[in-house]
Every structure is written in C-alpha cells, then in structure tokens.
Amino acid sequence: MSETRDELIEIISKDEIDNKIKALADQINRDYSGQELILIGILKGAFIFLADLARALNMPVKIDFVRLSSYGSGTDSSGRITFSKDIELDIGGKHVLVVEDIVDTGYTLKYLKDVLALKGPLSVKVCCLIDKRERRKVEVDVDYVGFDVPRGFLVGYGLDYNEQYRNLPGIFHLNPSYEPKAYTPSDR
C-alpha cells in the first residue's frame, strides 16, 4: 500500500508571526497599562503562541492553561468538547485574557467563555493568532486578532493535524489540493 504524503504550503512565515506578536503585544500593553492580567492558554494548540506573546508583554502577568479538544485526529470539529484540565488560579475579580491559536467553528472559545464566566472574573477578553470564519458555527467575540485567514486547514506554530506539525515555525496550509474532499459543500 502506498503512503500519501501531506502537502504543506507556507502561508505565514515565522518573521510575519514575530512582527504580528509585537503589534498585538503593543496594543495589549497599552490597553492593560498599570493593571494585572491573567493569561489563559487553551492547550495544546496555544502553547507556542502564549509563550511568545507572554514574553512580549511588559506588565505583570500570571499564566494558566485549560485543555480543551474537539478535533481528534481529523480536520473537522466533532462538535463535542472534551474538557480535561481546568485552570488552577483563582480568576475572581481579575482581568483575564484568553490566548488561543485559532478560532474556527467558535465552539471551543464559546465553551471556555461560558466556563470562565461562572468563576467571576472582572473581565474576559480573547486574543487569537488566527481567525478563520469560513466554518464559523457560533458567534463569539474576539478582541485581538493576529491574522484573518479565509479558508483551509492550517498547521504549524502549535496547530496540528493528528498531533503532527505543531513544531513547524510558520503556519502552513495542509493539503490545499485535497480540499474538495476535506470540506463538504455545506461548509463553504
């Protein structure tokens, strides 16, 4: 049986990501000037973005993570979120910034915002590296957006396909020539 290789086309370079993170951090530094902030990363995808963003901020931050997953080994959301790790910090009365790699259907972010709202934070905002609206199923506000990417399944810089490619330095479009099979007409 022959093995098919994934085709990867770079759409955002590491340099472009670095520059974007500086710009996002400038804005966040200005908006939260003189205040304390808790960053909450959504594992696993956000681990690299959070690490880079956190080091570009010039304010006191605390860092925590949740683990949410819904994609498994495929390229479509199962629509069911597995919540396997909660935050450990108390966010009651605190400003929170959720750090996410990609917002796609919106299910993951909506789920987390609902969970966090029950913990009594002073504010909850969201910073995502990639906003991809093609398959959005639920409306959810994103306050800081790195890149609007119209379509495709993306990997690299934390984003995976079946747990592969998270360590690529840039963002890549996975198998663009196979897309008609990967996306059903109702997703377009």
Ligand X SMILES: O=P(O)(O)OC[C@H]1O[C@H](OP(=O)(O)OP(=O)(O)O)[C@H](O)[C@@H]1O
Q: Which residues are catalytic?
A: 104
| 70 burial type by CB count under 10 A (0-12 exposed, 13-18 middle, 19+ buried) | middle
List of residues 6+ apart from 112 with CB closer than 8 A: 40, 42, 66, 68, 98
Binding site for ligand X (CB under 6 A): 42, 44-45, 69-71, 77, 100-108, 160
For Mg ion, which stretch binds (CB under 5 A), given 5-13, 28-36, 67-75, 133-141?
Answer: 67-75
Question: For ligand X, which is the closer residue by CB, 32 or 153?
Answer: 153
Shorter beta-carbon distance to ligand HPA: residue 20 or 151? 151
Q: Rounded distance, CA 59 to CA 119, Å?
A: 23
Cα 182 to Cα 166: distance, rounded to the nearest angstrom: 20
Q: What part of residues 81-120 is at the interface with ligand HPA (CB under 6 A)?
A: 102, 104
DSSP category for residue 179: H
CA geometry: angle 31, 18, 63, nearest 5 deg = 55
The 3-class secondary structure across 105-128, one letter per residue, is: CCHHHHHHHHHHHCCCCCEEEEEE
Rounded to a whole number of angstroms, the minimum distance from the CB of residue 136 to ligand HPA is 11
> Considering CB distances under 5 to 8 angstroms, the limit depending on partner class, which of ligand HPA, ligand X, Mg ion, none binds residue 154?
ligand HPA
- Give the binding range for ligand HPA (CB under 6 A) out of 32-40, 50-58, 149-157, 176-184: 149-157
Report DSSP state, residue 13.
-
State which of residues 52, 100, 131, 160 lies at the interface with Mg ion (CB under 5 A): 160
Whichever of 30 and 80 has its CB closer to ligand X, that residue is 80
Interface with ligand HPA, residue 153, by CB under 6 A: yes
Instruction: Candidates 71, 107, 153, 157: give the one binding Mg ion (CB under 5 A).
Output: 71
Q: Which is nearer to ligand HPA, 96 or 102 (CB)?
A: 102
Maximum pairwise Cα distance, the chain? 61
Q: Which residues bind ligand HPA (CB under 6 A)?
A: 71, 102, 104, 153-155, 159
